[in-house]
Structure 1
Amino acid sequence: MKTPLELACIIDDDNIYVSLISKIIKMKKLAKNLLVFRNGREALSYFDSLSEDFDAKKIPDIIFLDLNMPIMDGWQFIKAFGEVRQKLDKKVELYLVSSSIDPRDLQKANGIEEISDYLLKPLKINDIEQIFEIAS
């Protein structure tokens, strides 16, 4: 088994999904620590604060980002995060996670360089393990 990632992040407003993914990450020891944000604005505020007071241990190695959330959705977050990400000086794997099978969403995601992959909910345990394996 590979060494767990230092920090993973989930940005999603679905409590059941967040609970499930969190349990899998902890049970399989895929990450030592986990950040959870309920919308893009909460997450962006966190990342903005890091760009002013840089600490690599507080920057996640991997982010699972939902597309459809209140306040700031996934697309809005990606656009704003692109500017902040340059200041963070660390590679972050960003996975879009959605229940949307709209081909326009997939096409849009494929056109954004910062996105590692577009994943459909519900994620399977093997898929999650494979993603963490790639990121480590």
Structure 2
Amino acid sequence: MKKIDIACIIDDDPIFIFGTKRIMQLTNFCKNFMIFHNGKEAYENLKAIIENKEKLPDIILLDLNMPVWDGWQFLDEFIQIPNKSEIIIYIITSSVDPADIEKAKSYDAVSNYIVKPITIEKLKQMML
């Protein structure tokens, strides 16, 4: 995998965001971060970036359980936006519900489903 320029974290848990950013910094995973605290905020900001032809994140780490819009609502809307850039989406969630795991497989845009917490090993697997 090429060097990640921008990683986008969509999660409402400040402890998860802090820890994930720290692990990414320690492993030189990426240069920059975009942080959004719910799916609607992420959708609106990423849609504006696409419309303005600005630099999109290379990777999105998406939580499922968030206020306002959950991860599924974000995905359903985000995949409707015409976009020529390839963005790798990982669902990173505390949900071990088999229904969520199966649902994630139905989205072509989702690369993998990872149960929290994120670890250096899991991050290195993403980089392959």
Q: What corresponds to 2:121 in structure 1? A: 126
SS in 2 for 1:68: coil
Give the conservation status (yes or no) of the 8 Å contact 2:27–2:120.
Answer: no
Task: Note if 1:82 corresponds to 2:79.
Answer: yes
TM superposition score normalised by structure 2: 0.94
1:28-77 Cα shifts (integer Å, max 9, x gaps): 1110111110001111111111222102xx20110000000000000000
Q: Alignment identity in percent?
A: 38
Give the conservation status (yes or no) of the 8 Å contact 2:61–2:91.
Answer: yes
Structure 2 spans left out of the alignment, 5+ residues: none
Q: How many residues align?
A: 128
Q: What corresponds to 2:108 in structure 1? A: 113
Runs of 4+ in 1 over 6 A off after TM superposition: none
**Displacement, 1:27?**
1.6
Give the RMSD, CA atoms, in angstroms.
1.3
> Counterpart amino acid of 1:6?
D
Give the conservation status (yes or no) of the 8 Å contact 2:104–2:113.
Answer: yes
Q: What corresponds to 1:7 in structure 2? A: 6
Give the one of 88, 94, 106 matched to 1:93: 88
CA distance, structure 2, for counterparts of residue 61 and residue 3 of structure 1: 9
TM superposition score normalised by structure 1: 0.89
Q: How does 1:32-51 map to 2 (within 5 A)?
A: 32-51=31-50
SS in 2 for 1:83: coil
Q: What corresponds to 1:31 in structure 2? A: 30
**Displacement, 1:111?**
1.2
Q: What corresponds to 2:60 in structure 1? A: 63
Structure 1 spans left out of the alignment, 5+ residues: none
> Counterpart amino acid of 1:73?
D
CA distance, structure 2, for counterparts of residue 125 and residue 33 of structure 1: 18
